[in-house]
Amino acid sequence: VAWGNETRQANTEKLMDELIMEHGFDELYIKSIFTKINYLPNLIDSISKPAEKTKTWPEYRAIFITPVRIAAGVVFATKHQALLNRASKETGIPVAVLLGILGVETSFGRILGRYKVIDSLYTLTVGYPPRSAFFRQELINLFYLVREQNIDIQTVKGSYAGAMGAPQFIASSYRTFAVDGDSDGLIDLFDNWDDIVMSVANYLKVNGWHNQEDILVTASLADSLISEYASKGWKPKFTIAELKKAGVNFSTTISEESPAQIIELEGNDAKEAYIGFHNFFVITTYNRNVMYALSVYLLGQNIESAIN
């Protein structure tokens, strides 16, 4: 579903007025930016069919858990060992999780996205009704962000949904969660690894990470238990005690009253079952998808195993 030409034109004029009148951006500046903006109809298709919705777990996993990405992670972890350890010590986020996120998101800064973020956010704001309000806020945040961080808005590239830099933060997350890791007065999530690593760690910390707690364990259990207790959302609905009482076998040092959820996915040959704890669901705040969080976890584990 996309808006037609006339509606897009009206939406564009409203958007420019809002930036100038409500947010106080200079009229000539806004007009000069909007003369260079491109509407990208192919993005409407991309956002309607993201990989998380169209790919099976084996297909999804095969994109991220690869020998090439694991090897890139080993190189990155070796080069940035002191920084990763500092971030982990200051925030409590395990190094493996930081590696998993940076590996899944952009293969450690190699795949940053090819779209001009201003074009992506503009297209989805004026042309895509289901999420127009969300992308409008991101577009407004982008204008504030480039002013605060002294970035040329025309040079910012990202994903089709406007995610930027090595950690793929959207504009509002950049402004809310990103931190100045080397105290140079700016936050650069494109080229400055101190800022990048500390920002990912800060994001997870602020979103409620519990230090020294398990993230995930494998479980063996009957199909009937899977259907009754498996995850359908982004917050675990049961406690560890409830799952154990129901006959789910797993071991963890986390307290019995802590939340837990069965995560069930169709593997190549059989169903795969895991128990996700609080921290697993903190990872899903980065991307609301259990396949994403599981890929982050497994990639990080694979990189650490390869190092050791």
Predicted local confidence at residue 286, as pLDDT: 95
- Tell which of 158, 175, 192 closes a domain: 175
CA 97 to chain centre: 12
Q: What is the pLDDT of residues 276-301, one digit of tens each?
A: 999 999 999 999 999 999 999 999 99
Query: Of 300, 306, 305, 308, whose CA–CA distance to 84 is shortest?
Result: 300
Q: Is residue 198 part of a domain?
A: no
Task: Kindly state whether residues 41 and 150 are assigned to the same domain.
Answer: yes
Q: Is residue 197 part of a domain?
A: no
Task: Kindly state whether residues 151 and 272 are assigned to the same domain.
Answer: no
The pLDDT of 128-157, averaged and rounded, is 96
* Alpha-carbon span 231 to 241, nearest angstrom: 16
50, pLDDT greater than 90: no
Summary mean pLDDT of the chain? 94
pLDDT band at 235 (very low <50, low <70, confident <90, very high): confident
Predicted local confidence at residue 53, as pLDDT: 73
Q: Is residue 210 part of a domain?
A: no
Predicted local confidence at residue 233, as pLDDT: 67
Q: What predicted TM-score, i.e. pTM, was given to this entire model?
A: 0.94
Q: Is residue 76 part of a domain?
A: no
* Alpha-carbon span 200 to 203, nearest angstrom: 5
Q: Is residue 199 part of a domain?
A: no
Classify residue 164 by its DSSP letter: B
pLDDT band at 51 (very low <50, low <70, confident <90, very high): low
Q: Is residue 304 part of a domain?
A: no
Residue range(s) defining the domain that contains residue 149 = 5-48+112-175
Q: Is residue 155 part of a domain?
A: yes
Q: Is residue 38 part of a domain?
A: yes
Please check whether residue 152 is in contact with residue 146, taking contact to mean a CB–CB distance below 8 angstroms. Answer: yes
| 264, containing H or E segment | strand 259-266
The number of domains in the chain is 2
Task: Kindly state whether residues 220 and 168 are assigned to the same domain.
Answer: no
